[in-house]
Amino acid sequence: MKFKIALLQLMPGKTLDEQQRIGTEACRKAKEMGADVALFPEMWSNGYYLPQDEKEVTALAVSAGSDFVLSFRDLAKELEMAIGITFLEENDPKPLNSVIFFDRNGNETLHYSKVHTCDFADEKVLSSGEDFYVADLDIGRGKIKIGSMICFDREFPESARILMLKGAEVILAPNACPMEINRLSALRARAYENMLAVATCNYPEGQPDCNGHSTVFDGVAWLRDEEGVRDMCILEAPGEAGVYVAEIDMDMLRKYRESDVMGDKYRHPERYGILTR
């Protein structure tokens, strides 16, 4: 089974209505390109704009049941394509940095809020999420276990490890930062050490503090019937805005996960007590 992921590496507009229009057009293009799921960059509802005034940032937040979010639910159903829509979510005491995945039937499959908020910078005006979640995403030809982490979450090995332990096969990761060699290496490491795919969607060049380079690492470091290692990076977008599609071979990934030694195979959790301190 092949799983086609569209990374919507888009420049944002200036209003919520513009975000909805630009996002809708990009999703339609992703469907034309054969995608099973379309993923937005981080906090698409406002282009990752975070004023530091409490009242101002609260006024920008939208609810999970807002017309903006639900328009992408309806679009997912219309296009018969899953959509991961990101938004600044209404929440008390502070808004959340969230993503909701709607499946090809318009059903909410996964709702995740960023756990590792950047409290050292603009995200100190946000609350953080409570947990990491895994869900079955029905793509019509079968189901894929997906999880999500958002931007700074990638810097903590625990994020991807928890998702792997909960059964995730593919992590879909919205992003908003410069994707340079070290951050890209962190994503590669998360895929390698957990034997899962990691797809990351960033904003393009032109968006402040972003540079494109959305990526997909398919998680398969080598194949037993082939010599040497293989490059797990099956897509690295350029800096320019666009819709970029990569195809993950789920049969190959699942066979690799069954037969290789990474992930959960030889862990010794009884010796990891310090990790919970």
What domains, with CATH codes, occur in the chain?
Answer: 2-276 (3.60.110.10)
0.85 cut: is pTM over it? yes
Could you read off the pLDDT of 70-118 as tens digits, one per residue?
999 999 999 999 999 999 999 999 999 999 999 999 999 999 999 999 9
Active site residue 114: yes
Amino acid code (one letter) for 219: G
Query: Which of 42, 89, 123, 169 is labelled catalytic?
Result: 42
Active site residue 27: no
pLDDT at 226 over 80: no
Quote the pLDDT of residue 154: 96
Output the CA–CA distances (angstroms, integers) from residue 158 to 130, 165, 187, 228, in the order listed: 14, 10, 13, 29
Written as six digits, the tokens of 19 are 């975000």
Could you read off the pLDDT of 170-196 as tens digits, one per residue?
999 999 999 999 999 999 999 999 999
User: Contact, 149 vs 163, CB < 8 A?
Assistant: yes
Residue with tokens 């997909």: 216
Q: Are strands 143-148 and 170-174 parallel, antiparallel or unpaired?
A: parallel
Written as six digits, the tokens of 98 are 């969230």
The residue count of the chain comes to: 277
The strand order across the sheet containing 2-9 reads: 108-113, 96-102, 82-89, 37-39, 2-9, 242-249
Could you read off the pLDDT of 125-170 as tens digits, one per residue?
999 999 999 999 999 999 999 999 999 999 999 999 999 999 999 9
Locate all alpha helices (DSSP H) within the chain, ordered by sequence. Answer: 16-32, 54-60, 67-79, 157-165, 181-194, 250-259
Residue 250 is given by DSSP the state: H
Query: Which of 114, 123, 201, 210 is labelled catalytic?
Result: 114
Signed CA dihedral, 197, 203, 209, 214: sign only:
positive
Q: Are strands 2-9 and 170-174 parallel, antiparallel or unpaired?
A: unpaired
Quote the pLDDT of residue 209: 95
Query: Which of 27, 151, 201, 210 is labelled catalytic?
Result: 151
pLDDT at 276 over 90: no
Rounded to the nearest integer, the mean pLDDT of the chain is: 96
Written as six digits, the tokens of 242 are 């666009």
